[in-house]
Amino acid sequence: MAEDKKNVPYDLSRRSERSTEEIVPLFCFSCGRTGHNHEGCSKGRPGSGSSLDVTQSYAGGTPASVDPPSQPSGGTSCPSPSSVGIKPPRRKPSKKATKSTTHEELEKLYRTGEESRNPVGESVKLYNEQISISDPNFRDIKAESFEECGLHPDILKVLKSMQYEKPFPVQKYAMSIIQSGRNLRASACTGTGKTAAFLLPIINNILKRDIRSSKELPQRPKALIISPTRELAQQLFNDATKFTAFTDVKAKLCHGKTSVDQETQRIKSGVNILIGTLGRTVDHLRRETVALDELGYLVFDEADRIMEEDFAEEFEDFKRFLEKSGCRPQTLMFSATFADSVMSKIKSLLADHVVLRVGVQGTVNEDIDQNVVAVPEDEKREKLLEMIIAGPTDKTLVFVRSRERADMLIDYLFRNEIRANVLHGERDQYERTKALREFSDGSVSILVATWLANRGLDISLVNHVINYDLPNTMEQYINCLGRTGRVGNRGRATSFFDPRFSEDIAMAPALCRKLLEGGAPAIPEFLRVE
């Protein structure tokens, strides 16, 4: 079975609890940076005169596009990303707040997942020009603000607190379709705000119908959101927690590598929205912790991954539980792409559905500058080191084909005094979470990861993706590049091409097409293979 991955900054003060409860990422409302909260911020506690420069943003961008306030003379600044090779001072764990304050409530809102960690870039307006909807009844959506989307006042209060004013295209169209009761299959480029597109209307419906949860087993959630990885499930849970902050709607998380018994106790306390990986969800259905007979919404995020062979048995088990329940929930499927093999598996769940496409499918995001460099295998390490030294402040994500190569590469970087972290399935959950936290907050600017880790990753403002090993399928290539250039921000990607490696040679024609689609002025000669 495919490994689950995690993708949130980690509160060190809760390290001993990491196996039994959800990990809570941190955001500082005083300085606008992640990795600490206002209590541990050297800018000063809220109310001490510090201010946050907040600009308006789309929902799907950060709560605000943040520029740190100017530093008073003689003052000290908040922890900043370290330069490569320099170890930053260890931060003290933040103390747990003893009482609720306005700033603590706002920090809870900023404990975010996919969209809100990514400031909105200028080119996001291009998404408005790349909309395709199968049903003409939904093509003329005029909503230019969340007030016009028919959302509950409590949701609008959350969005206003976070400086969210204008919905992304995928959000305004998807919300209209979902609120109509139709099934939906949505394809959207990475970083376009799709998480809020389904969470907001689901929460809205629960609030408007005043649906309450019980404290008995089995729990009967009104919405079930399935994710292929632990990291993505955690990310979705963080977003759900954020959007329900001023409501009584209860979201709960279930995934592997946590205690089933303790998870059951949390679910028993009440759940409206259950978010989990497929395997653990099926486990709770078998244990009768959860029942599906009152399910209103069924969401598959990264649906193409869930339909892969690794999940085939669990998916069939889940379908049997759904059929046995007699419930026919509104089904929403989101993915960057939907292959024919995927469509054959999901056809029975998507009767009379609307197809929504945002952006050009099967293409590299237009905000990414692609570059392919000819590098033989025995020169790759030196070339990577050269690029890292040339751009020491860049947040750089390096992809390799295997765990063994990831470990060998990280050892090489350490020997050359480059601070870097590694992410792959053989690392334990704490190591993986720590690696992602340090990369997210800028403590470490280099992260080496395997291809299989890329779907669970969502990190703000990755400047540079390097395919140390060239992916062997175009879908994998697009997915790896999709870690940069998110939410309308510019990004760049460099792929090492080994002209002596048969799998790289086989990718050459497809690479040529992608480079031309991306506006490359010329195709390198080494890609013009016979």
HEC string of 285-314 equals: HHCCCECCCCCCEEEEECHHHHCCHHHHHH
Question: Do 149 and 142 form a contact (C-beta atoms < 8 A)?
Answer: no
Q: State the DSSP code for 358.
A: E
We report the CATH number of the domain holding residue 130 as: 3.40.50.300
Range of lowest pLDDT (27-31, 124-128, 220-224, 518-522): 27-31
Let me know whether 185 and 207 are in one domain.
yes
- pLDDT mean across residues, the chain: 77
Domain assignment present for 448? yes
Per-residue model confidence (pLDDT) at position 48: 36
Pick the closest to residue 198 from 345, 330, 14 (CA basis). 330
Q: Buried (b) or exposed (e) across 50-80, using 16+ Cβ within 10 A?
A: bebeeeebbbbbbbbbbebbeeeeeeeebbe
Confidence of residue 428 (pLDDT cuts 50, 70, 90): confident
pLDDT exceeds 70 at position 8 = no
- The reply to whether 340 and 380 lie within a common domain is no
189 with 331, same domain: the answer is yes
Residue 440, judged by CB atoms within 10 A of its CB (0-12, 13-18, 19+), counts as buried
Residue 396 predicted with pLDDT over 90 = yes
Mean pLDDT of 318-346: 87
CA distances from 168 to 172, 193, 451, 468 (A): 6, 6, 29, 33
The conformational region for residue 257 under phi > 0 = left, psi -120 to 50 = alpha, else beta, is left
pLDDT value at 128 more than 60: no
The first and second tokens of residue 181, run together, are 């009761």
295 and 391 within one domain: no
Same domain? 354 vs 415: no
What confidence score (pLDDT) does residue 28 get? 47
Beta strands 353-358 and 131-133 are antiparallel
The values of phi and psi at residue 143, to 5°, are -60, 120
Indicate if 349 and 389 belong to the same structural domain. Answer: no
Residue 1 above 60 pLDDT? no
Domain count, the chain: 2
Residue 351 has pLDDT above 50, yes or no: yes
Range in 106-115, 159-168, 257-266 with the lowest mean pLDDT: 106-115
CB atoms within 10 A of CB 151: 24
Average pLDDT on 369-385 reads 94
Residues 300 and 391 in one domain: no
User: 22-26, 213-217, 344-348 — which is least confidently predicted?
Assistant: 22-26
Q: How many residues does the chain have?
A: 530
d(CA 479, CA 465): 11
Band the pLDDT of 116: cuts 50, 70, 90.
very low
pLDDT score, position 503: 92
Q: In this structure, are 269 and 299 located in the same domain?
A: yes
pLDDT of residue 262: 92
Tell me whether strands 330-335 and 297-301 are parallel, antiparallel or unpaired. Answer: parallel
Of the chain, the percentage scoring pLDDT greater than 70 comes to 72
Q: Which residue's entry shows tokens 């990885």?
A: 229
Per-residue pLDDT band for 285 (boundaries 50, 70, 90) equals: very high
**Res. 521 pLDDT band, cuts 50 70 90:** confident
Looking at residue 185, its pLDDT comes to: 94
Domain limits for position 389 = 368-527
pLDDT for 129: 53
Query: Do 148 and 252 fall into the same domain?
Result: yes
